[in-house]
Amino acid sequence: MPTTKKNPDDRGQEDASVCGGTPPAKPGAAPAADRPTGALCAREGLGTARPPKGGLLAHATGTAPPMSSPRTTAELAYLGDAVFELLVREKLLCDGVPFRKITRRAKDFVSAPAQAAMYHKVFDRLTDEERAIAKRGRNLHSTSRAKNAAVSEYRHATGLEAVFGFLHNKGDAARLAEIFEMCVSE
């Protein structure tokens, strides 16, 4: 069966929704102008997009101001866990770690015992505001139990994650990178 080459300007609605563009209208759905569109699509020329309002991609591209809504310590720790994990993955990829070994090597950084050691390593170099966030995270009462760590290690790791979440939420990428480098340096 012969295949025909598609004209790049003749993209169907499916392409737009897959890449985060404006999805096709559904009965009772908001007008296209009110539906979110993807920034990636705009950069790739796949459709029009409004700048994202927040989140990691928006901070990375410089299109969003810092998130202004106050966050609970638990939310900061949750967000910080994801930010820290992403920074570790980027570091391992940049360091040339073979792909098949990345997950195993990432555990050396993202485990509660490792993060607790990092907490103690950087605590004295944190600002007063960051120290207060770290202490709030450390003292956070968690409903989950640490599986492969002592309770104190788990709590200190949560304190470190809260700092990372706080800095991400604040939009302070330079300080985030500085603290991360302190954590992972020998």
67 phi/psi in degrees, rounded to 5: -65, 130
Structural domain boundaries in the chain: 13-50, 73-184
What integer pLDDT is reported at residue 22 of this predicted model? 41
Residue with token string 């459709």:
47
For residue 131, give Cα distances in angstroms to 118, 123, 135: 14, 7, 6
Q: pLDDT of 110-162, one tens digit each?
A: 999 999 999 999 999 999 999 999 999 999 877 777 778 888 899 999 999 99
Look at residue 1 and give its three-state secondary structure.
coil
Of 9, 81, 108, 128, the active-site residue reads 81
What integer pLDDT is reported at residue 18 of this predicted model? 32
Q: Is the pLDDT of residue 164 over 70?
A: yes
171 conformational bin, left if phi > 0, alpha if psi -120 to 50, beta if neither: left
Query: Any catalytic annotation for residue 9?
Result: no
Residue of 138, 16, 36, 118 lying closest to 77 (CA atoms): 138
- Confirm or reject CATH 1.10.1520.10 for domain 73-184, answering yes or no: yes
Q: pLDDT of 67-102, one tens digit each?
A: 556 689 999 999 999 999 999 999 999 999 998 998
